[in-house]
Structure 1
Amino acid sequence: MSDGAEFELSERATYDGAASEARPKALIVDWGGVLTSPLAAALDGWYAAEGIDAAGYELAIRDFHDAGLAALSVFDPIAALERGELRVEHFEQALAERLTRYCGVQVHAEGLIGRMFAGFASAPAMINVVRQAKVAGLRTALLSNSWGNEYLRDDWDQLFDAVVISGEVGMRKPEPEIYLHTLSLLGCAPPEAVFVDDLERNVRAAAALGIIGVHHRSYAETIIELEALFELDLRAESPLDAPIGGD
């Protein structure tokens, strides 16, 4: 979702006019595309299963953001879904109608979002980064925009000090309030936290508040960036055997 501008992996922004020189003490991560396989890969599998094409999906999504309607209304169906203001079944019905129109195949509304995200697979290497951060005593949080989809939360109490899901708190990225809410749960000021997301606009919004932003493109790039920022080794040979520590 890049706007074409050059953007470094890490963007440090000032807070109250002065950047903090102290090592950050908190790690905040996105879920889809960071702790999972990339969204594009999941959607590719869904396209094939439904018999639709990427161009039709893009047209269907764009239909929710008609410029003329946006000028007349503050209602954004996708934003409303992510904040939990729009019922999932209503969004699925609207999206299914648009997909059927633009892709030329019948798309069933019931369970549509679940089918869309069924191809997400966990990203063990990135999950291990969070685990090692926790072992090292860093505060950790998950910050995710949800489309009403299910999350596998089995180990979240071991990985995170705070979990913020957009639809559960009535806020969404890139709105400033959701970042500030997450910081408050961690007990951190903005420059004390690092935020990792695969969408550039979400990283920019965090950086504008003074949070250290890392635009996740690959594990190889992100691990180098995080280890430099925290001055820690965040890799382990046996991540499942590592005990969880920290405060």
Structure 2
Amino acid sequence: MTLYPRTMVTGVLIDWGGVLTTSLSDSIARWIAADRIDADRYYTVMRELIDHAYRGGDGESLVHALERGEIDGAAFESDLAARLLTVDGVPPVAQGLLDRMFAGFERVEAMYDMLRDVRGNGVKTCLLSNSWSNTYPRDDWDEVFDAVVISGEVGMRKPEPRIFQHALGRIGLTGEDCVFIDDIEANIVAARALGIAGIHHRDAATTIAEMETLLRLTLRK
């Protein structure tokens, strides 16, 4: 459920992977098949890592360090590969592991069109993405974003409050002025605690419909 702010929304904070791209789960499924990964082992390992990183596990983890840019992708790949097995019973090749995991991401053009429309109506936009040492396709970002905040470049990560505050500062708005779109519920909860309206993204059509209601604009052609 989207919680709408009391004031007019004049800013949009938005995630990248799984929101402006096709879903992470689809990309991972393609990689598992291509690299012949033992799927059960992968999901057990990754569930533990993600639960710790996003659901309040004690202490720091490799995911925290990777997303803040405190370790590089190669170090994470080596650690993750050592935890995994292929269906042949050997660890997968570590080098390039993250690139292969995310290779199935595809742009969701409807979401980019939505951002262009909201900017055209005077709403500021800010990308707010947790990076896994990945390369972002930035060719047309000047057309869709007023600011870009990537966790590994700023040394902060979602759901830490400080990265939301940093993003708000980059576009000169308060939490009550903004809506945040993300596909991870823990990040939405963190944003709402700062007064930012949250849209838990599941698919482009539903998110765009919620944005139309929130902004009182027609965003679909």
Match of 2:64 in 1: 79
Q: What is the CA–CA distance in structure 2 between the aligned matches of 1:84 and 1:95, rounded to whole Å?
A: 16
What TM-score does the superposition give when structure 1 sets the normalisation length? 0.83
Unmatched segments (≥5 aa) in structure 1: 1-7, 13-19, 237-247
In structure 2, what is the equivalent of residue 199 of structure 1?
Answer: 184
Residues 139-190 of structure 1 show CA distances to partners (whole Å, capped at 9, x for unaligned) of: 0010000000111000011110000000000000011000010000011110
Separation (CA, whole Å) in 2 of partners of 1:34 and 1:65: 18
Give structure 1 regions of 4+ aligned residues with deviation exceeding 4 angstroms. 62-67
Which whole-Å CA distance do the structure 2 matches of 1:100 and 1:158 have between them?
Answer: 42
Give the alignment's Cα RMSD to 1 decimal. Answer: 1.9
C-alpha change, 1:232 and 1:64, in structure 2 (3 Å) is closer
CA contact (8 A) 2:28 2:101 kept: yes
Give aligned pairs, total: 217
Report if the CA contact (8 A) 1:60-1:102 is conserved.
Answer: no
* Per-residue deviation, 1:103: 7.8
Q: 1:173 aligns with which of 149, 154, 158?
A: 158
Deviation at 1:75, TM superposition (A): 2.7
Q: Classify the secondary structure of the residue corresponding to 1:115.
A: helix
Gaps of 5+ in 2: none
Instruction: Report if aligned partners of 1:52, 1:105 keep a CA contact under 8 Å in 2.
Output: no
Contact preservation (8 Å) 1:56, 1:102 = no
Output the amino acid matched with 1:49. Answer: A
Query: Could you say which residue in structure 2 is the equivalent of 1:28?
Result: 13
CA contact (8 A) 2:130 2:158 kept: yes
- 1:88 Cα deviation after fit: 1.3
Aligned identity (percent) is 48
1:219 aligns with 2:204: yes
Aligned pairs for 1:12-91 (under 5 A) are 12=4, 21-62=6-47, 64=49, 74-91=59-76
**Counterpart among 170, 180, 186 of residue 185 in structure 1:** 170
Amino acid at match of 1:11: L
Aligned residue for 2:188, secondary structure, equals helix
TM-score, length basis structure 2: 0.92
Structure 2 residue aligned with 1:144: 129
Matched, 1:105 2:90: yes
Which amino acid letter does the alignment assign opposite residue 222 of structure 1?
T
Choose 1 or 2 for highest CA Rg: 1
